[in-house]
């Protein structure tokens, strides 16, 4: 039996993993502002349309399907109060039949929604907004230069919206970058300090404060947040900043008052950065070789029960010349929800644990999501191209919506039972969800049992003893040989 097992294990490269059988959701749009007719589509692996929704405005980012079959859609308003790449301004909620249930716009003198939103399990929605700061406010915070003729800087904030009625909200929690600044230029100010001593804070003088160029003309866009994700188990939020080539994690367990300070919450750090990665030179540590992200967009946690659970997936737009890449990284998280960082050193890890690159590149948006069978769904925004790759970097599914006229910010694939909630229905042993128990499943379970590449998933527990180990491998092998 051992000889047979070793023989089957050597056949890994002779078999192709199947694409995950699910429902892909996407919202193609064009480069214009608001107004017109736009659609969101939900399709199966054969590109058959399962459902669609119509919208009067183009997408600001990606749509989200909720387990109750409603759709959250961030969109671009016709007259934004602040205008730069990824501008949005509105969020709508639709039922399955396309009826508008709720809509709300954030495009005022203080705040302007842009890019992404994140629906929460409690029904609230996290929203990324630019927060306008005047030259006086910038000076009082220690900012030395502004790089735009508007003479202002657009900081970033996260607002948690509770839906009220059909067109209103309550802001039930908020977080502001401006509450977590450090600077080393003006010793007379309270936020004066050594930047490298404070990786938990934002150097107010790092990077340009906007420009006089861009899709909306002169702007004060400083950090350009472009993606937000939530981890319910940790009660933490992940963010991506294109301008600073960094991703961040902050604590959501805080009150709004605690989020404005440096203590409180599960991690005890208030609203300070718990973790940051991609460009440690932004906080005065590391070298150029540690600068691993460039213009990245999507960031999200791999869900519990999926291969790589708890790791972060990042879409790195400019990995090399004319090549984007998808990174999977293991964060140095501690049991109390903080993240390890050594004195005078940058946050780890030193490199991704997995990456996929080659044959795709986008300057705008883009993203990737891990699937239950270990595959990863990737979206090339500029080319409106979606494709699925295995952990061995084999493309097993693709859909080119492009033709040069459309963009797709990010697509996401849902399980067919998603609208019922929970981990996908599965057959014990069918690890890759292809409705067959075969050598591919055997190889996956073998990898999981030895801790190689994959974390255990529920279908891998063939003997149903709540543990994935060598016993599951031999029992599945015996089953295959006898059937």
Q: What is the DSSP track for 398-452?
A: EEE--SSS-EES--EEEETTGGG-SSPP--TT-TT-SS--SHHHHHHHHHHHTTS
CB pairs under 8 A, 24+ apart, for 253-259? 254/175, 255/173, 256/173, 256/174, 256/175, 259/173, 259/174, 259/175, 259/176, 259/179
Residue 264: count other Cβ atoms within 10 Å of its Cβ: 18
pTM for this entry = 0.86
Please tell me the distance from the alpha carbon of residue 200 to that of residue 339, in angstroms, as a whole number: 11
With 0-12 / 13-18 / 19 or more C-beta atoms within 10 angstroms meaning exposed / middle / buried, residue 236 is buried
Show the beta-strand stretches assigned E in 321-366: 323-329, 354-357
Q: How many CB atoms lie within 10 A of CB 366?
A: 30
Of 113, 90, 116, 89, the closest CA to residue 103 belongs to 90
Binning pLDDT at 50, 70 and 90, where does residue 66 land?
very high
Angle value at C-alpha 377, between 43 and 314, nearest 5 degrees: 140
Residue-wise pLDDT for 417-464, tens only, equals 888 755 566 789 988 777 788 888 888 888 888 876 566 778 889 998
Confidence of residue 148 (pLDDT cuts 50, 70, 90): very high
d(CA 269, CA 264): 6
What is the pLDDT, as a whole number, of residue 420?
72
186-225 per-position pLDDT tens digit: 999 999 999 999 999 999 999 999 999 878 889 999 999 9
- Give the pLDDT mean for 385-393: 95
DSSP 476: H
Residues 102-117 have a mean pLDDT of 98
What order do you get walking across the sheet with 111-119 strand by strand? 111-119, 125-134, 152-164, 168-176
Average pLDDT over residues 232-245: 98
pLDDT of 397 > 70? The answer is: yes
pLDDT for 421 equals 58
> 139 pLDDT exceeds 90?
yes
Q: CA 117, CA 74: separation in Å to the nearest integer?
A: 7
Tokens at 62, concatenated:
């990606």
Q: CB under 8 Å to 154, separation ≥6 — which residues?
A: 82, 84, 112, 130, 131, 132, 133, 209, 210, 219, 220, 221, 222
pLDDT bin (cut points 50, 70, 90) of residue 404 is low
**Per-residue pLDDT for 74 more than 70?**
yes
Q: Are 447 and 470 in contact (CB under 8 A)?
A: no
The tokens describing 165, both together, are 């009625």
**Assigned token pair, 100:** 């508008």
Does 299 have pLDDT greater than 90? yes
pLDDT band at 75 (very low <50, low <70, confident <90, very high): very high
Q: How far is residue 397's CA from residue 279's CA, in Å, rounded to a whole number?
A: 33
Q: What is the pLDDT of residue 189?
A: 98
């Amino acid at each position: 039996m051992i000889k047979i097992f070793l023989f089957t294990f050597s056949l890994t490269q002779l078999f192709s993993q199947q694409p995950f059988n699910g429902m892909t959701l996407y919202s193609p749009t064009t480069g214009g502002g608001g107004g017109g007719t736009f659609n969101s589509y939900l399709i199966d692996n054969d590109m058959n349309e399962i459902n669609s929704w119509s919208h009067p405005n183009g997408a600001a980012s990606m749509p989200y399907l909720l387990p109750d079959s409603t759709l959250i859609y961030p969109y671009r308003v016709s007259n934004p109060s602040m205008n730069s790449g990824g501008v949005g301004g509105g969020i709508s909620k639709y039922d399955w039949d396309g009826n508008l249930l709720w809509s709300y716009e954030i495009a005022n003198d203080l705040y302007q929604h842009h890019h992404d939103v994140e629906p929460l399990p409690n029904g609230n929605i996290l929203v990324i907004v630019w927060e306008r700061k005047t030259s006086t406010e910038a000076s009082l915070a220690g900012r030395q230069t502004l790089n735009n003729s508007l003479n202002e800087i657009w900081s970033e904030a996260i607002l948690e919206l509770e839906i009220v009625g059909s067109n209103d909200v309550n802001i039930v929690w908020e977080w502001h970058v401006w509450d977590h600044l450090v600077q080393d230029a003006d010793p007379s100010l309270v936020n004066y300090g050594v930047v490298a001593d404070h990786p938990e804070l934002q150097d107010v003088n790092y990077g340009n404060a906007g420009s006089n160029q861009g899709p909306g003309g002169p702007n004060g866009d400083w950090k350009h947040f472009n993606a937000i994700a939530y981890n319910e188990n940790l009660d933490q939020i992940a963010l991506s900043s294109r301008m600073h080539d960094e991703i961040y994690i902050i604590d959501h367990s805080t009150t709004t008052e605690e989020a404005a300070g440096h203590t409180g919450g599960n991690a005890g750090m208030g609203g300070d950065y718990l973790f940051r990665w991609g460009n440690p030179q932004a906080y005065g540590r590391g070298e150029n070789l540690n600068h691993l992200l460039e213009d990245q967009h999507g960031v999200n946690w791999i869900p519990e029960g999926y291969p790589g659970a708890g790791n972060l997936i990042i879409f790195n737009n400019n990995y090399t010349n004319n090549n984007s890449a998808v990174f999977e990284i293991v964060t140095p998280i501690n049991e109390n929800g903080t993240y390890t960082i050594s004195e005078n050193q940058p946050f780890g890890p030193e490199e991704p644990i997995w990456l996929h690159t080659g044959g795709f590149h986008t300057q705008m948006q883009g993203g990737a999501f891990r699937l239950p069978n270990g595959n990863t769904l990737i979206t090339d925004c500029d080319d409106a191209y979606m494709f699925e790759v295995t952990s061995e970097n084999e493309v097993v599914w693709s859909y080119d919506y492009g033709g040069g006229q459309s963009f797709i910010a990010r697509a996401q694939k849902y399980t067919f039972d998603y609208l019922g909630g929970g981990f996908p229905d599965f057959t014990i042993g069918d690890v890759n969800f292809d409705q067959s128990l075969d050598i591919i499943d055997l190889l996956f379970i073998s990898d999981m049992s030895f801790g190689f590449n994959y974390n255990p998933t529920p279908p891998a527990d063939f003997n149903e003893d709540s543990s994935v180990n060598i016993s599951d491998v031999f029992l599945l092998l015996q089953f295959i040989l006898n059937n």
